[in-house]
Amino acid sequence: MRNKVFIVGAGFVGSSFAYSLMQRGIAREIVLFDIDKNRALGEAMDLSHGVSFTKPTIIKAGELREAKDSDLVVITAGAKQRPGETRLQLIDRNLQIFKDLIPKILESGFNGIFLVVTNPVDVLTYVTYKLSGFPRQRVIGSGTVLDSSRFAYLLSQHCNVDPRSVNAYIIGEHGDSAVAAWSLTHIGGIHISDFCPVCGKNCFTQEIMENILKEVRESAYKVIELKGATYYAIGLALVNIVEAILRDENRILPVSSVHKDILGINDIPLSLPSIINRNGIEKVLNIKLSEKEVEELLNSAKIIKQMIDSLDFDKEPIFS
């Protein structure tokens, strides 16, 4: 692998991701593309001026044709989410962008892994899968990786532990129907329901659980209301996904992908814990959930399916 990452979109998310990626030192080459060429050039120059403080990295602005020999194309481009606007309400504007963008990337000869970040990420992961004709394991959405980090952070604050000691997943939609997988939540190897005596707080009451999930779901809206956009945390989340791919880590992350069959629902993109390596998604884990969590996950899938069914879009994939 060349460890070349091609970033589509040099806005707040794309540039924050490039900055985090440069600092981690895992990409040999980073190419920024934006419809605003001056923006991409300016970001590339600014980042390049700091490479003497990091691992050797080539950072430049480029055209879509330069995606050809990239290991990953990371798509952050799209319409900005407005205050009060849900991620799903973005679809009409961003669908048109992807219909134009994906074929042009394919024309370059690109044959790596797509990583979709643009919202609504689940729906646009599906759109990218259909338009590209790539195998489903090579079309990945950033999914609920960031949501899971928010979840772990809130639990760590409540239980007064380091967030790195919290193993917790948000699954389903990256959006308002996201599901907290309490059944899979552990702190230091202890299930969350058994950790309450350790931290001295009753953190497994229905009210507290609902409040924490509510805050996870509304976090992005609060940040957007306060400063206009979210970008630092998603930039870091993307670096973890890319690192798992480029370093062939077999790391488990709750990314979004189009599943052949999940709980009897076919061809629906959902985030579930998946093994990530240089092949993309090596395997989606068969997790055990409570009946309530299964019901919530099915509802999340139903919401995404309704949005997909409403799209003016019916292209069949080349691969199954």
Q: Which positions make up the binding site?
A: 9-14, 34, 39, 78-79, 81, 87, 94, 117-122, 142, 147-150, 230
Indicate if 259 belongs to the active site.
no
Residue type, 177: S
Residue of 49, 174, 186, 259 with catalytic role: 174
Question: Burial, 39: exposed, middle or buried (Cβ in 10 Å; 0-12, 13-18, 19+)?
Answer: middle
Phi, psi of 93 (to 5 degrees): -75, -40
Task: Give just the sign of the alpha carbon dihedral 244, 24, 27, 16.
Answer: positive
Contact 188, 161 (CB under 8 A): yes
Who contacts 51 (Cβ-Cβ below 8 Å, separation ≥6)? 22, 57, 59
In angstroms, what CA-CA distances link 185 with 101, 199, 209, 219, 261? Answer: 38, 15, 12, 20, 24
Q: Which helix (H) or strand (E) holds 214?
A: helix 206-227
Helix (H, G, I), strand (E, B) or coil at 69: coil
Whether residue 144 contacts residue 174, with contact meaning beta carbons closer than 8 Å, is answered with: yes
User: Cα 209 from chain centroid?
Assistant: 24
Tokens in use for 171?
Answer: 């699954």
d(CA 123, CA 142) in angstroms, rounded, equals 12
Pairing type for strands 166-167 and 186-187 reads: antiparallel
**Three-point CA angle 242, 233, 69, nearest 5°:** 25
Contact predicate 204/185, CB 8 Å? no
| Catalytically active residues, by annotation | 174
